[in-house]
Amino acid sequence: MSFSDILGVSIGKLMLRSPIIIASGVWPMEPERWPSGIVDKVGAICTKGLTFSPKEGNKGIRLWETPCGLLNSIGLQNPGLESFLKNEFQMLKNCGCPLIFNLAFHREDELDLLLDKLSSSGFDGTVEINVSCPNVSGGGMAWAVDLMSLEMVLKKARAKWKGDIWVKLSPNVPDIYDSAIVAENCGADAIVVANTWLGLAIDIKKKKPVFERIFAGLSGPAILPLSLRLVWEATNVVKIPVIGCGGITDTESALGMLMAGASAIQIGTGLLRDFEVINKICGGIEGYMEENEIDSVKQLVGLAKKNHNIRG
Ligand SMILES: Cc1cc2nc3c(=O)[nH]c(=O)nc-3n(C[C@H](O)[C@H](O)[C@H](O)COP(=O)(O)O)c2cc1C
């Protein structure tokens, strides 16, 4: 049996050699900075959140460690899609696994412009529409929080984009069901559950909030149980694949996310601590599958749900 026979999964039109995807915003976009062999088991790589015009990002402190977590307030710093296509993309397109374009926008017409620019570059693959960035004013997370806005932008995007659309949802909503259903009804090929949770840190030496924008996005192991719950809930109401994201850092959390119903998983903060985490998790999943006589990752997906239902 080859590697991809065991670990391979398909999400929409994409065939991934493993269910592990690099989440947006945490991975160097210059392949010359990657240690050798580091992406050999990676299923796909999400780009940094790209906007139409370049963005400098937020002022002040941008990262703050919390017990078991990380708060970030990067504010979508990026070179803009045009520059990315001319520079980073030229090196990334031969990196050996699919590249997913994470697109962020403030105004509705910016998403149109991003999709037009991407099509005219010849890219017709998968886009991850980021309707959930908590660290920018206007737009950002607001798209996911307001269901009518979400529906409007996703319908327009669907009419324009022929490739697959993943929608990266916000956890900062009263419940995930509504946004998951809206995304599916608007023709999304998959949903990513989810982005970071809004949090706050206080610098007691300065006696004020750590971040200029006061609130920032919490990621890392601290949010794993919350992400597992959201994935469990989302997979109760949609048929499209749900990609689990939030707090996965080792084999156990990756397996838990698959068993909660995720068809694939994204890893962000875990990579900041250990570049090797994906190789380790893939090896761990393979070992678990062998021990438990499981032939394909598909059999793991939603297994905890099935077992819970069987036992009533
Ligand atoms: C430093 C940093 C930058 C991020 N930038 C983006 C981004 O540009 N676009 C996006 O959709 N998510 C971004 N995220 C969110 C991650 O992709 C991921 O959804 C989140 O961190 C939860 O996963 P984790 O707990 O594995 O990190 C960022 C997260 C971190 C920590």
Mean pLDDT of the residues in the chain: 94
Three-state DSSP string of 112-168: HHHHHHHHHCCCCCCEEEECCCCCCCCCCCHHHHCHHHHHHHHHHHHHHCCCCEEEE
| Within a domain: 211 | no
Q: What is the pLDDT of residues 27-39, one digit of tens each?
A: 999 999 999 999 9
Nearest partner of 180 among 141, 151, 149, 220, judged by Cα: 151
| Within a domain: 206 | no
| Within a domain: 297 | yes
Instruction: Name the residue of 195, 273, 278 whose CB sits within 8 Å of the most ligand 1 atoms, as the mutation to test its pocket.
Output: 195
For position 137, what pLDDT does the model report? Answer: 66
The answer to whether residue 244 scores a pLDDT higher than 90 is yes
Q: Is the dihedral of CA 34, 35, 36, 42 positive or negative?
A: negative
Domains in the chain, number: 1
CB-based pocket (< 6 A), ligand 1: 23-26, 48-49, 70, 72, 74, 76, 102, 130, 133, 168, 195-196, 219-220, 223, 245-248, 267-270
| Within a domain: 115 | yes
Structure tokens at 54: 């370049």
Nearest partner of 57 among 166, 173, 211, 201, judged by Cα: 211
Atom 5 of ligand 1, nearest CA residue: 25
CB atoms within 10 A of CB 116: 13
Over residues 8-21, mean pLDDT: 97
Least confident interval from 17-26, 75-84, 129-138: 129-138
Q: What is the DSSP letter of 196?
A: P
In which domain, by residue range, is 247 found?
3-57+76-198+218-310
Note the maximum CA span of the chain: 59
Q: What is the pLDDT of residues 33-71, one digit of tens each?
A: 999 999 999 999 999 999 999 999 999 999 999 999 999
Is residue 133 flagged as an active site residue?
yes
Ligand 1 atom with minimal separation from the 168 CA: 11
Q: What angle do CA 48, 52, 53 make, to 5 degrees?
A: 100
Q: What is the pLDDT of residues 262-289, one digit of tens each?
A: 999 999 999 999 999 999 999 999 999 9
Residue 198: CB partners within 8 Å, gap ≥ 6?
134, 141, 172, 215, 216, 217, 218
219 bridge partner residues: 70
CA 128 to chain centre: 8
Nearest partner of 170 among 136, 202, 127, 201, judged by Cα: 136
Ligand 1 atom with minimal separation from the 49 CA: 8
Q: What is the pLDDT of residues 105-124, one digit of tens each?
A: 988 899 999 999 999 999 99
The answer to whether residue 2 scores a pLDDT higher than 70 is no
CATH number at residue 161: 3.20.20.70
| Within a domain: 135 | yes
| Within a domain: 64 | no
CA of 25 to the centre of ligand 1 (A): 5
Q: Which of 46, 68, 97, 133 is catalytic?
A: 133
Ligand 1 atom with minimal separation from the 192 CA: 19
The answer to whether residue 1 scores a pLDDT higher than 60 is no
Instruction: Name the residue of 143, 168, 219 whose CB sits within 8 Å of the most ligand 1 atoms, as the mutation to test its pocket.
Output: 219
pLDDT interval class at 311 (50, 70, 90): low
Residue 259: CB partners within 8 Å, gap ≥ 6?
300, 301, 302, 303, 304, 305
Q: What is the DSSP letter of 50?
A: B
For the full predicted model, state whether its pTM sits above 0.85: yes
| Within a domain: 82 | yes
For position 263, what pLDDT does the model report? Answer: 98
Ligand 1 atom with minimal separation from the 221 CA: 25
The answer to whether residue 216 scores a pLDDT higher than 80 is yes
| Within a domain: 209 | no
The answer to whether residue 215 scores a pLDDT higher than 90 is yes
Query: What SS3 state is found at 226?
Result: helix
Query: What SS3 state is found at 216?
Result: strand
